[in-house]
Chain A
Amino acid sequence: MSRRKLADLGLDLPLLPTSTVGSFPKPPELVEARAKAARNALTRGELDRLERRATEFWVRTQEELDLDVLVDGEQYRGDMVAYFAATLEGFASGGLVRSYGNRYYHKPVIVGPVRWKAPITVEWWRWTQALTGRPVKGMLTGPYTIMDWSFNDYYPDRRSACLALAREVRKELEALLEAGARIVQIDEPALSVRPEELGFAVEAMHTVVDGLPAYYIVHACFGAFETIYPGLLDLPVENLDLAISHSALDLLAMFEKDPFTKDLSLGVLDVHSHATESPDEVAARIRRGTAVLPADRIWVDPDCGLKTRTVEESRAKLAAMMAGVRAVRAAAAAAAGR
């Protein structure tokens, strides 16, 4: 693990640090409030109050579950790209497109030069961090995913749109670090969609993070990673967070062939399944990870954000995850003591 970097940043995390990927389900009253607010039937202030109450609920829940690195739960966000596009200049909100099943989102449209105008995530990060003594991750969407998940009516090609976005995402990162964030997760779920574009995706990530001190996690999920591995390791970040649980852990077989050189956040919960994993299942998935990587380079988290699950399902899944982690930690401690 990049323990030295974490130590330099003043962070002391246990073996197999636990975290979540970002989103938690919104409680029913907040879902209702957002719908009302969309119809202008609720004030911004009232919605904000409910968002903060839900955020505090999730902070306390994460503390109760004993997670090590917290998230704000994204109670104020809808879609991860549209949220950023709504604040960056140069975007217009597009119509609804389907993501899967009955899930739709407003796919943004780039209609002019993109420009960062003001901090987007900083106030929520600062407010959430003030609630807890545990570190809270800064959460950004990466430039490649913003580009890929937007329609482009302005830039001549995908590369120029991506690099323009990278320059603006960097400004948000600078603001986040200035506020005090030390661990920053950059979501790039689109990373594997066009393997021939990995080169400029890596270039864009350099533009975002080079020279800025933090522990960086890139989260990518539901992709065909075999097509961009081991090139993926060129990303200038410390930790790659990959969806593992429902892919029968075949990514780890790839690591046995081409050594994985970074820390790995091991997604051990299938966020699209209603079924709760057992602690034994979680422990088994972690052990598949520790079979190919040293345990001190592994973090443990769900596959993806939990927003598609219910509050109860999320808690149950995370409780199982923590029980599995505790079992593996205890076994490691016992082995070390022998």
Chain B
Amino acid sequence: MNAYAENLFSEDDKIKGGGSLFVEGEVDTRHGPILYMEDVSVSFDGFKALNRLSLYIDAGELRCLIGPNGAGKTTLMDVITGKTRPDSGSVFFGQTIDLLLMDEPAIAEAGICRKFQKPSVFDALTVFENLELALKADKRTWATLFFRLSGEQRDRINEIIETIGLHDCRQARAGILSHGQKQWLEIGMLLMQEPKVMLVDEPIAGMTHQEVERTAELLLSLQGRHSIVVVEHDMEFVRSIARKVTVLHEGSVLTEGTMDEVQNDPRVIQVYLGG
């Protein structure tokens, strides 16, 4: 601080800064939304996967995304997580973090995690090891080489194993798990990362009725602490968890609202029934 400013501001003013503080490592969500997507377009060989899409996700919200095949749901997740770069538009995490400047690991480190449509766990590793890899820790090479699990971290992993109901197979290789169990394991891996935003692509595919119910309970229990975006085709499931539903169609937001509002929207009916 230069001498002039030194004299101009009192100690108290300097602490408050007279305005908003920029806090390193914190996501700035004071205006509500934690994710801002504005005017985002993505095209593949002329096909517009996303067409000037704008979407805001509030901090702590559980949002469901629905839409017919090809509506751009997975592309939207690809853009947020850094897998696909949009042709235009902007994507912000909080008010200050520009996700378009970051790559996948950086975005994951910042606190946006993703469950894939096809369950992606590491088949050769055990359930415990899968969760250990996902654990929030220093993820650079040397730190990883000399990594030792602390008692606290071990407890955390065991806690998550309980949460996802896999305590009977914690030392089993992930490859031998059922489809539903793999889905759960991947959700567990998301939780290990202590994310601020969870993007969950088709979480209940291949699950039994009981598993579906438990997934719904889990997702509902997580809202508030995490912002969760769920893409799902199963309308009954969406109805059971969603407060707010966003309908995508041809790469743009068609409408937003509660499940009832959305289901009674004539445009939505037309898109789904092809009327």
**A in complex with B:** no
Which residues of A are in contact with B by a Cβ distance under 8 Å? none
